[in-house]
Each structure stands twice: as C-alpha cells, then as structure tokens.
Amino acid sequence: MPENEKQQIISKLYEKVLGPYSKSNGRKHVVVKLEDGTYQTISYPKYLMEEHLGRRLDPELETVDHIDSNHYNDEISNLRLMPREEHSSFDTRRVKLIELVCDMCGEKFQRTPRIIRIKARLGKRGYFCSRRCSGRYGRLLALKKIKKMKKQQHVESEYYKKKYLEGDLVEQGHPQATLTPEDILITVE
C-alpha cells in the first residue's frame, strides 16, 4: 500500500493522525495535525503511549522506552514512560543533589537521585563516597570483618516525584504512582 493511502488512525488527542510511516532505519513515526492546523511528526512509540495514557507527553520531561530494548517492538506492553535523563541540559538545573554520608569513611558526599535510583534498583548495599571505600567494604565483607550493610533506598528527584507521584499519572494507575512519599524518601544522617 502506498504511503499516502495509509489508513487514518482515530485519535483522542489530535485532529488527524497519518501513518505510521517507516523511516529508512526501520523506526516508525506518525504525522499529527494539531488544533492550530499545523502538522507535527512524532515517533510512533511515543504516539502510542500518548493515546494509551489519553494525554500528550511533556517532551521536556518524558520519553518512551522500549522495555526489551528492541526499537522495532512497538507493542504497548513493551513501552514504558520514562523521565528524561537527568543529565540533559534541561534537567541539570533542576536536579537537587542528595547529601549522603559514606558508610566507610564517614565523609559527606553528594549524588544525583538518578544514580541513587539505579543503585537501589541493582540492590547495592551501603553508601560509599568512592570506589576506594566500596572496595574496602568488599574486602572487609569477604574477610567477615564487617556485617552486610543495608540495601540502598529508592529515592526520587523532586521533579520526578511531582510528575509521577503527585501528578496526573496517579490517576492513570502508573506503577510508580503506588509508592508513597515514605517509600521513596531516604534518611540522610
């Protein structure tokens, strides 16, 4: 079927949606008509997520990720809404660093909520200011000279909390929305 005869999608969010069209790299996109009559190109997975959630995404804060890392698998079950990387220029201004105390040397240090989230997800134990301190912990643990430390706590950056825990996604039944502020706050000594 030629591209221009592609079936039009019924949309809750846009006046008109054309596509999906495939780029030469195999990734798909749709062309949407906005209220003001202008057209915009949106990646197909992002568009599917928008229709699924019944709202447009915030391009500065949200992105859509393929869970299985296969960029051609646009099944809605394979798509998830992600906050944009906190190291992007937009976010660095907003990210509040979390102050921590190294479990090994007692020095204060700072981490971005994103790094803390990643480590918590990996089930990392203890908070260490450096590789040197985490290495020392590993060696002492191997020698049974130290007890296993507590698993790192999940933490959310302020904007992420606002967006995902207090925002409209709570109503959408987003999995992150089930967390209470107590679940995500970490105790800083």
Here the tokens at position 161 are: 């909390």
CA 188 to chain centre: 24
The least distance separating Zn ion from the CB of residue 121, rounded to whole angstroms, comes to 22
Nearer to Zn ion, 34 or 97 (CB): 97
Question: What is the C-alpha separation between 43 and 31, in angstroms, rounded?
Answer: 9
The least distance separating Zn ion from the CB of residue 124, rounded to whole angstroms, comes to 14
Number of residues that bind Zn ion (CB under 5 A): 5
Nearer to Zn ion, 64 or 129 (CB): 129
Q: Which of the residues 131 through 160 are near Zn ion (CB under 5 A)?
A: 133
Among positions 18, 30, 32, 102, the unique one binding Zn ion when judged by CB under 5 A: 102
Q: Which of the residues 106 through 135 are near Zn ion (CB under 5 A)?
A: 129, 133
Among positions 30, 49, 64, 104, the unique one binding Zn ion when judged by CB under 5 A: 104
Does the protein bind Zn ion through residue 100 (CB under 5 A)? no
The least distance separating Zn ion from the CB of residue 71, rounded to whole angstroms, comes to 39
Decide if 48 contacts 79 (C-beta within 8 A).
yes
Contacts of residue 77, defined as CB under 8 A and 6 or more positions apart, other chains included, come to 67
Decide if 148 contacts 125 (C-beta within 8 A).
yes
Nearer to Zn ion, 30 or 102 (CB): 102
The least distance separating Zn ion from the CB of residue 138, rounded to whole angstroms, comes to 13
Phi, psi of 23 (to 5 degrees): -85, 170
Nearer to Zn ion, 42 or 129 (CB): 129
The least distance separating Zn ion from the CB of residue 103, rounded to whole angstroms, comes to 8
Give the N- to C-terminal CA distance of the chain in Å, as an integer. Answer: 64
Any idea what the Cα angle at residue 30 is, between residues 28 and 35, rounded to 5°? 160
Contacts of residue 34, defined as CB under 8 A and 6 or more positions apart, other chains included, come to 14, 15, 40
Among positions 105, 118, 170, 188, the unique one binding Zn ion when judged by CB under 5 A: 105
**Contacting residues toward Zn ion, per CB under 5 A:** 102, 104-105, 129, 133
